Amino acid sequence: MNTLTLLLSLISVLAWGRLLLGKKELFYSMSLGFLIYSSLLTFLLFIFGWAGMNINEHTLFLLTSLLGIFALIINLVLGWRLKFEIAKFDIDKLCSLEKLVLCMIAVLLFSSLVHGFYWPAVDWDSIALYDSRARFIYSTEELSSIVFRSYYLIYPLGTSLLHTVVYIIGFTTPLFLYTLYFACFLVCYYYISAESFGNKYALASSFLVAITYSLYAHAQIAYTNLPYSIFVSLGLITLFRSIKKIEARQWLISAMLLGFSSWYRITEPFWVLAVIISLIIACYHRKIIIFLPYAALSVIARYVWVAYQSKYLNDLSSQESLITTYIEKIIGNLNFDSIWTVFVYTWNNAVAQSGWLIFAFLASMVIQYMNAKRVSLEITIQLLIIFGMYALLYAGSYFYYSEEAFETWLTYGDSLRRISMVFPPLLIYFTFVNLYEKQRYK
Amino acid sequence: MYGVPRAKDKMLKFSHSSRYFLFVAVILYFTSIILLSIESVTYIGSIHKHIGINTKLVEIVSVIPISLLIYGAIKARKYNNRNICILLTTSTLIFIGTAIIYIALLALEKITYNNFVYSHLHINLKAVVNLYSYSMLIFLISSLLYYFLSQRIRFFIKRHFNTLLMVILGLLEISILTEAFLVKGFVSENLLVDPLSILSLLISSVVFAEASGVKIGSVLIKHMRVAGAVSVIALLIYLCFMFVETNNYNNYVYSKFHMDLNGLLYFSTSNSILYLSFINRELILRLVKTSRGKLSNENIKILKFIIVSSVFYYLISNLPQTINRLSENTTYIALNANQTYEDKVRYRWPFIYDYMMFVKNNTEENSVIAVPPMVRPWLTEGNADMVRYFLYPRKIVTGEINTFPKEADYLLLAKGSWPLDENSSYGWPKISITVKNIIYYHGEHGEQREVCCFYDSNSADNQNSWGLIKL
């Protein structure tokens, strides 16, 4: 049955990729299909588990069948066959530097995949939380096996249930999934970049993303930061591309990616920015109605998880009261020394993590501005995304600075660095878009 | 000859607002230097405490008028003024002075002991670092300002580009190698100068040089070839040492040969990036030229220079770490391909895994086990969630320093695997009690010893032991 489940999953990945993307490129469809399908599968597994069903191979088989058949039927209704093409890639036309770049990406991914199949998930947080929950659910077949401890309910079950699925299918380690996530991300990033500014620059920008140490290191540990960063950055990039023209598919993909980002991590508030930006874009195109499905999809996973949390956590504060507390704490402790201390801390742990990419991004934006001779909506949205996210991180750091003892606060730097993994892909993409995007001002 | 602007330089009248900015900048600059000097001989925050002036705020505000001057210089590119030259000379002298004082004090501290400078000379080294970094910042800003304003200095740099580049490259490579043989961050942490950032600026300047009319000399070409060869040799040495390290233990190479493997890889990667970007400089320049904005526009050229430098910096700072991780993983897996699941977990959790297996083998599945609180020195074995991972489905409860939950069937006898702090001491539980028996754990292959029927928390033997107490 497990082999059949695996086979069905593969077909589902392809069917979902084809359905969402509407394109025949095999690698792109597979990558996007994997990202969305894996999240959808674990989310539904969670819903089924919450409804009282056992989480075992039968439920998994049922779900993969349902998801696969659903995607296949829709594909058939739309008249699409699962026929794919591999984009022609003439290796002889590449220069030696490009060949070297391709070779390095392949070696990095292959080595990471070998690492993923070799090592079990034994890093600190995986043992204490993510893989623990997966093993408890796997051994008891019950979702309720984790509710005895509030710590296990802090983060949503995205990666944990994916681990459970991997254990049910019969693998001994789930670590290779993170390399798969990373590889899928790179493929999606490459294709999106290629659509935006051509193959040559897409290869360069994807290479910069591939060698990003924080992303590469997280492709080899079972933490939630990598999936979260992937979903947020891809979701925001896809949303950004809707500025020119709103396409239903892109709109849907962006909403699903951002919605599912909350299925991996719930503490970071970047989704708020995405909702605001989608509203701006919808208003800009005078199609305000399309904002509603976007907002609904962006928050659905989040609110389902919060509902589950609130069932078991008695002291769970509401989102509104939390925001009020945050603002009160921040405003109540404003003074220059604190502002400066938190600024330096956020700079070192969040901004400096992307090296000087922030300067490259700003310089490219000035070039774009000088060319366009006006502040376009693209510039505004780029600024809103990057500085909005930095401002949220700053506000969060400030809140903890006011809340915690100074020595404890300093130890949060590592978490801040992990959250900041989302920035390099965004900064690289925006810089390249500003420099190379085709026919922007025609 | 070239350093001082003369009447020959294109001179336009300094605008009224620029003069005003310059005046304000100089006043704020000297105020900051004085305030920081006072803090150096007292303590950080003394000015704020006694006079109510925030030194950091003055520092930040002082940078604003100078930055506005730079903006004006970039925008106008045609005025020159002797006052700027005075600013540059003053800031250079102050920077050299503070650098000498700082390095002397730092050397004194290094060759004596920590806090020597403060206890004997009553000079606060952290405040001196602030003074040094501030004077360096102003020196850099005023040099930049001078570069934009003086055609002579630009002409000088163009003319001696090859020599200047090789000298700076030589110095940089020495500093990167110093970091490889001493410790990573030695230069950047102590002198607050990041060699990699300067290197990325230099690589970009090589790419842009020919577009600015500079001729690349044959000596520089040879230098780049040497850099390419050196990078390969350094990579080979790195791989050999990586093999040696994996065959022994973590940090083996550093402890035996005093060589930081990561630093060596930084040296190799930066040289290879230098070489590759040099031989592909036309391609990179073509990529730069095809981007939006024409390179003939000087302001666009500056912006593109910033972009290329940022990308190089990103490459130089990320690639070595990524390659290091890749080679560490690959070497380990290649040498230990047949390891079992237990071996792998044991490698990552050397003592804890075996200890947890010992506890698991000596307890029933439905038992309740109390662990120490998660404070030093029990940060790992006191982490109930981590212990639960190994011992599930046993119930894990957390005890206090002097008590434990009544429901517990077993207590971990835990010395503590983390170093102590001033408030902690080894050994848990810290309460003497009558027990059914105590099983002492002496490592995976050590002999297990059972003792009945009293646990004495004051016994030195118990405080330094690991095991399991059955209640």
Angstroms from A2 CA to nearest CA on chain B: 22
pLDDT for the residue numbered B7: 43
Chain B nearest-CA residue for A207: B315
Cβ–Cβ gap A149/B385 under 8 Å:
yes
Q: For residue range B362-414, what is the model confidence (pLDDT) as tens digits?
A: 999 999 999 999 988 999 999 999 999 999 899 999 999 888 898 999 999 99
Q: Are B409 and B427 in contact (CB under 8 A)?
A: no
- At residue A102, the 3 state secondary structure works out as helix
Please state the separation of Cα A1 from the chain's center in Å.
31
Percent of chain B beyond pLDDT 70? Answer: 92
Q: Tell me which of B10 and B92 has the higher pLDDT.
A: B92
Phi, psi of B411 (to 5 degrees): -120, 140
* Other beta carbons less than 10 A from residue A378's beta carbon: 20
pTM: 0.91
Angstrom distance (rounded) from CA B339 to CA B356: 20
Cβ–Cβ gap B310/A360 under 8 Å:
yes
Q: For residue range A176-230, what is the model confidence (pLDDT) as tens digits?
A: 999 999 999 999 999 999 999 988 899 999 999 999 999 999 999 999 999 999 9
- At residue A411, the 3 state secondary structure works out as coil
pLDDT for the residue numbered B80: 55
Edge-to-edge strand list for the sheet holding B466-470: B395-398, B368-371, B410-413, B466-470, B437-441, B449-451
Q: How confident is the model at residue A320 (pLDDT cuts 50, 70, 90)?
A: low
pLDDT for the residue numbered A319: 61
Q: Which amino acid is at B47?
A: I
Greatest mean pLDDT range, A370-374, B231-235, B299-303: B231-235
Instruction: Identify the residue among A213, A344, A347, A430 best suited for mutation to test binding to B, counting B beta carbons within 10 A and taking the highest.
Output: A213
Angstrom distance (rounded) from CA B141 to CA B106: 25
Residues of chain A numbered 362-381 and touching chain B (CB < 8 Å): 363-364, 366-368, 370-371
Q: For residue range B211-256, what is the model confidence (pLDDT) as tens digits?
A: 888 888 888 889 889 999 999 999 999 999 988 888 888 788 888 8
- A-B CB pairs within 8 A amount to 135
pLDDT for the residue numbered B306: 94
Angstroms from B441 CA to nearest CA on chain A: 23
Angstroms from A245 CA to nearest CA on chain B: 22
pLDDT for the residue numbered B261: 86
Chain B nearest-CA residue for A363: B303
Q: Is some CB atom of chain B closer than 8 A to the CB atom of A359?
A: yes
Cβ–Cβ gap A356/B321 under 8 Å:
no
Kindly state the helix (H) or strand (E) to which residue B107 belongs, with its residue range: helix B82-111
- At residue B455, the 3 state secondary structure works out as strand
Given a cut of 50, is residue B88 above it in pLDDT? yes
Angstroms from A160 CA to nearest CA on chain B: 13
ipTM of the complex: 0.93
Angstrom distance (rounded) from CA A222 to CA B234: 33
Q: Are A131 and B389 in contact (CB under 8 A)?
A: yes
Q: Is some CB atom of chain B closer than 8 A to the CB atom of A211?
A: yes
Distances (CA, A) of B416 to B51, B391, B402, B450: 49, 18, 15, 20
Given a cut of 70, is residue B42 above it in pLDDT? yes
pLDDT for the residue numbered A175: 95
Mean pLDDT of all residues in A303-316:
83
Angstrom distance (rounded) from CA B331 to CA B338: 13
Residue B437, beta-bridge partner list? B470
pLDDT for the residue numbered B111: 85
Instruction: Identify the residue among B53, B58, B129, B310 best suited for mutation to test binding to A, counting A beta carbons within 10 A and taking the highest.
Output: B310
Q: Is some CB atom of chain B closer than 8 A to the CB atom of A204?
A: yes
Contact list in A for residue B317 (CB cut-off 8 A) is 355
Q: How confident is the model at residue B8 (pLDDT cuts 50, 70, 90)?
A: very low
DSSP states of A355-401 as a string?
A: TTHHHHHHHHHHHHHHHHTS--HHHHHHHHHHHHHHHHHHHHHHHHH
pLDDT for the residue numbered A315: 63
CA angle B381, B387, B391 (to 5 degrees): 135
Max CA pair span of chain A: 64
Cβ–Cβ gap B309/A123 under 8 Å:
no
pLDDT for the residue numbered A385: 95
Instruction: Identify the residue among B204, B290, B311 best suited for mutation to test binding to A, counting A beta carbons within 10 A and taking the highest.
Output: B311
**Residue B53, by phi and psi: left (phi above 0), alpha (psi -120 to 50) or beta?**
beta
